[in-house]
Structure 1
């Protein structure tokens, strides 16, 4: 299906970190050595390896941007300025830079996994204030690849909410500071969208990478189960959460995901062979209304996929009881994390009520494995005829940026559920999914995005398709 240019170009990334496809499709695309220091991660790493810039150059520029811009959006809760500079100097002295795929690249890490020397807060005042003694495996892999952690990013308490604020600080959307950056990886999405870092770690329990990625107009991917080390909190959100990445480009996300997964093949973007794609715009519940411009974003993605040679067919996704299964698991997902807090009495009022409902649901035995088994069986049957499904990522523009943590439980639940109903099913079954920017809402002037999802093991396919959609954006 693919034309010769695309087929060859995505298999060819030259030494400056820029693909032939990017140059061919955009003749004004600058050579890597002409990128600003805040350019794509792959180009930055290539320049560090070539010696045209140093890690301290890159880190200093990133810290300068963070110092200037973070106060406007509150993406970072901790900035490791002194430590990052010291690590950049150590990196510069190494003799193996040419072996490091992320040499000198500044990255952000979500605050609910361990970064050595930084307290792991999980968005809660009830968290420990003691610095973590060692890095989470994901952070260790980033460092081993040459990345430098410049800070940790904001999130809502225990990752439970689809807006991000804590301790009186609201994380704002760089595309519209009057709106939320989304949640729960809201700080990560804001940091990438504002150009403070080219890539950021996030994790995704019911859409917590894809929701803020869509809200902020960046690319985000949640891998399938066991592709990347999990270990998020006490029980990885009852097994629904996976670590993944947010980035300004698909190629940067693929590079970062390859590092997190320990799989170099994921960095090699290739145009997929002709795919059978289902276009499913209906939400999991009839109670949810979908903004017509978000429906149009999914249709746009479908049209671009068809133009790239794929077979695209309108379908209804067999959601089954997905809405009910998500509603039952959401309140109980944070119970293990809450139980591990040293000061649970400091939890926010909305969170306490949410967890109380979760305990009641558990006590009544309403969460049962066979609920997800039935959903997964329906999806397995569906994907006998399709390789990928495209849906809207969100149902509406992100809510206003405000102190949602001070509002009532009902207001928070409705705000989160109304605009983000499409993402959670892929967490229930543990399958990979990604959000790809698809232009701008003509009325709200906020980003639009489409969600791509596929069966276990389809990460490379989703990345390749996303790169095709991105290059025609």
Structure 2
């Protein structure tokens, strides 16, 4: 069942939350050994929480009643260890819950475990010294990052929905890699509270799910905005202007033809659904400094937080040491400049106005996911090369703080992993994007979980 169906069944008394939780834990036990999606499974605690939920006086009113949910291993859960994918972090249990965790629990969700991330959430592949997390569609490939464990858990049907967060595509990249619907809300819609400085406002919490309605439900609870759940149930966004940006974001490189074809097929579908779809090159910033400086200096701030919490920075991976060292240089010379972002935003807003458009359509990725291997043992340059070249489309909307989503759209014939498109909109357009995604889902349904699951 979907999360929407599970919650409805528990609210109505047709489903027992304890049995729902036991079933999810059984799937995790059966399926995760070869995938490495979970860092920790809260089996006994999750069952105990489900047992308490059965006696909740307002069980029939809880939006996520009895729904098993996983939390990405970079926000705190009281009593649990938060590793953030690193040997350098303290192993002391967390003392409090993140606001997102509190909201999910208050809505009746059952936290079944924490999911894998690359070190400090910095990279678009997910592995560490002990575990390489794998893509359920093709286990020779990565599920992406940094919400790679969350995506692998949902795409393999271990759970229906998972928490993720996105600083440079960390929800949308793994969603695209694993055939899921992933949504990064705009700045401030969901409490960030990510530690450090939240990569200077680029990082947002959001959902990964197999259906738009499930993602919208989870997002509505995270945001404390019930109307977003209703938006995900609607498949009639009304006629929209959606400008199709086919140009490549970087000075060098190109989009794999199958990813470009997915964008083209989606634009044709949208035109057939009554939307206006002009084509025009998106004014990506010629200077990547606004993105790179925030990525580096934000990671350095995260490392400083880690040290302040009792971590050992000597244990950071060598790629991360280089990245955070560069970030400290950025900070020392005060190279993070908000005026650069304001200039980029003015250009993108003018682009939308010029094309009389509400939204922007791009490929979600430039290429299929890289190999699943120990990228954590490779150097900084190798990691930067693979990250930037296969996932260059997402970062602009983190810098701007605009909402953006990854929508499944086919399967790559060579990698046998999903294809996807990215659709982004102006600030406040979450309630426009969700019905549009539901309309695409209804017109061109995608396979909810990977073959064999």
TM-score by length of 1: 0.90
1:202 to 164, 186, 208: 164
Q: 1:174: which partner in 2?
A: 136
What is the 5 A alignment of 1:286-305? 286-305=251-270
Query: Which secondary structure state, in structure 2, belongs to the residue aligned with residue 142 of structure 1?
Result: helix
Q: 2:448: which partner in 1?
A: none
2:70 aligned with 1:105, yes or no?
A: no
| Counterpart-to-counterpart distance in 1, 2:265 and 2:298 | 34
2:388 aligned with 1:423, yes or no?
A: no
2:351 aligned with 1:377, yes or no?
A: no
Contact 2:196–2:298 under 8 Å retained in 1: no
Contact 1:284–1:323 under 8 Å retained in 2: no
2:289 aligned with 1:320, yes or no?
A: no
Q: 1:440: which partner in 2?
A: 411
Compute the displacement of 1:362 (Å). 2.9
Q: 1:222: which partner in 2?
A: 184
**What is the root-mean-square deviation in Å for CA atoms of aligned residues?**
1.1
Deviations 1:112-166 (A, max 9, x none): 1011111121111111211112210001100011100000000001111110011
Query: Which secondary structure state, in structure 2, belongs to the residue aligned with residue 196 of structure 1?
Result: coil
Deviations 1:273-318 (A, max 9, x none): 2101101121211312210111111112211211111111111111
Contact 1:222–1:434 under 8 Å retained in 2: yes
What is the 5 A alignment of 1:79-90? 79-90=41-52
| Counterpart-to-counterpart distance in 2, 1:395 and 1:325 | 21
Q: 1:364: which partner in 2?
A: 333
Compute the displacement of 1:217 (Å). 0.7
Q: 1:280: which partner in 2?
A: 245
| Counterpart-to-counterpart distance in 1, 2:369 and 2:131 | 18
Q: Which moved more, 1:434-443 or 1:326-335?
A: 326-335
Contact 2:199–2:295 under 8 Å retained in 1: no
- Residues 84 and 322 of structure 1: CA distance in aligned 2, closer, same or farther (over 3 Å): farther
Compute the displacement of 1:322 (Å). 5.7
Contact 1:284–1:322 under 8 Å retained in 2: no
Compute the displacement of 1:325 (Å). 2.5
Q: 1:146: which partner in 2?
A: 108
Q: 2:450: which partner in 1?
A: none
Query: Which secondary structure state, in structure 2, belongs to the residue aligned with residue 449 of structure 1?
Result: strand
Runs of 4+ in 1 over 4 A off after TM superposition: none
| Counterpart-to-counterpart distance in 2, 1:209 and 1:121 | 19
| Counterpart-to-counterpart distance in 1, 2:383 and 2:404 | 25
Query: Which secondary structure state, in structure 2, belongs to the residue aligned with residue 43 of structure 1?
Result: helix
1:239 to 187, 192, 201: 201
Stretches of structure 2 that go unaligned for 5 or more consecutive residues are 445-453
Q: 1:390: which partner in 2?
A: 361
Q: 2:54: which partner in 1?
A: 92
Stretches of structure 1 that go unaligned for 5 or more consecutive residues are 1-38
2:377 aligned with 1:406, yes or no?
A: yes
Contact 2:147–2:170 under 8 Å retained in 1: yes
| Counterpart-to-counterpart distance in 2, 1:218 and 1:279 | 22
TM-score by length of 2: 0.94
Q: 2:449: which partner in 1?
A: none
What is the 5 A alignment of 1:63-142? 63-142=25-104
Q: Which moved more, 1:305-314 or 1:207-216?
A: 305-314
2:154 aligned with 1:183, yes or no?
A: no
| Counterpart-to-counterpart distance in 2, 1:318 and 1:197 | 39
Q: Which moved more, 1:175-184 or 1:267-276?
A: 267-276
Task: Tell me the matched-pair count.
Answer: 435
2:123 aligned with 1:161, yes or no?
A: yes
2:216 aligned with 1:251, yes or no?
A: no
Deviations 1:380-417 (A, max 9, x none): 21222210111001000000000000011111110111
| Counterpart-to-counterpart distance in 2, 1:322 and 1:256 | 36
Contact 1:326–1:428 under 8 Å retained in 2: yes
Contact 2:132–2:372 under 8 Å retained in 1: yes
Query: Which secondary structure state, in structure 2, belongs to the residue aligned with residue 118 of structure 1?
Result: coil
Contact 2:167–2:202 under 8 Å retained in 1: yes
Structure number with higher relative contact order (C-alpha < 8 Å, ≥ 6 residues apart):
2
Q: Which moved more, 1:261-270 or 1:315-324?
A: 315-324
| Counterpart-to-counterpart distance in 2, 1:193 and 1:422 | 22
Query: Which secondary structure state, in structure 2, belongs to the residue aligned with residue 333 of structure 1?
Result: helix
